[in-house]
A and B are shown apart, each in its own frame.
Chain A
Amino acid sequence: MRWGAFLCTSVIVILIILYEWPKMKKNPKKDKVAFLTLLLTGLVLAMFNLPQMAGPTQWMVTLFRPFGEFMEK
Chain B
Amino acid sequence: MEKGKISSLQMAFLMYPTIVATAVLGVPSITAKYAKTDLWLSPILASLIGFATVYIAYKLHKLYPKQTVIQFSEQIIGRVPGKILSFLFLFFYIPITGQILRSYGEFIVDSFLVKTPISVIMASMVLLCAFIVRGGIEVLGRAAQLFVPVFILPLLLLIILLGADLEFKNIFPILGNGIMPPIKGSIIPGGWFSEFFLMIFLLPFLTDMKKGMKYGMMTVFAVMMTLVVVNLIVLFVLGSTTSTKIYPMMNVSRYISLADFFEHLESAIMAVWIVGAFVKISVFYYAAALGTAQWLNLSDYRPVVWPIGILIVEFSFWSYPSSMDVSRYDIVAFPFHGVLMQTIIPLLLLVIALIGKRNRQRKGSNSS
Contacts and interface: CB of A to CB of B under 8 A. Distances in A.
8 contacts: A28-B299, A50-B317, A50-B319, A51-B321, A56-B315, A57-B318, A71-B335, A72-B331
Main secondary structure of the interface of A (DSSP, over half): helix
A64 B336 contact: yes
B91 interface: yes
A26 to B, nearest CB: 9
B334 to A, nearest CB: 8
Nearest to B296: A34
Contact of A30 (B296, B308, B310, B315): B296
Interface of A: 5, 9, 12-13, 16, 19-20, 23-24, 27-28, 30-32, 34-35, 38-39, 41-42, 45-46, 50-58, 60-61, 63-65, 67-69, 71-72
Contacts, number: 115
Contacts of B310: 9, 12-13, 16, 38-39, 42
B331 A71 contact: yes
Given A34-B298, A51-B320, A42 B333 contact: no
A42 B126 CA distance: 14
Contact of A56 (B91, B299, B300): B91
A45 B311 contact: yes
Contacts of A46: 314
B303 A52 contact: no
B172 to A, nearest CB: 26
Contacts of A53: 318-319
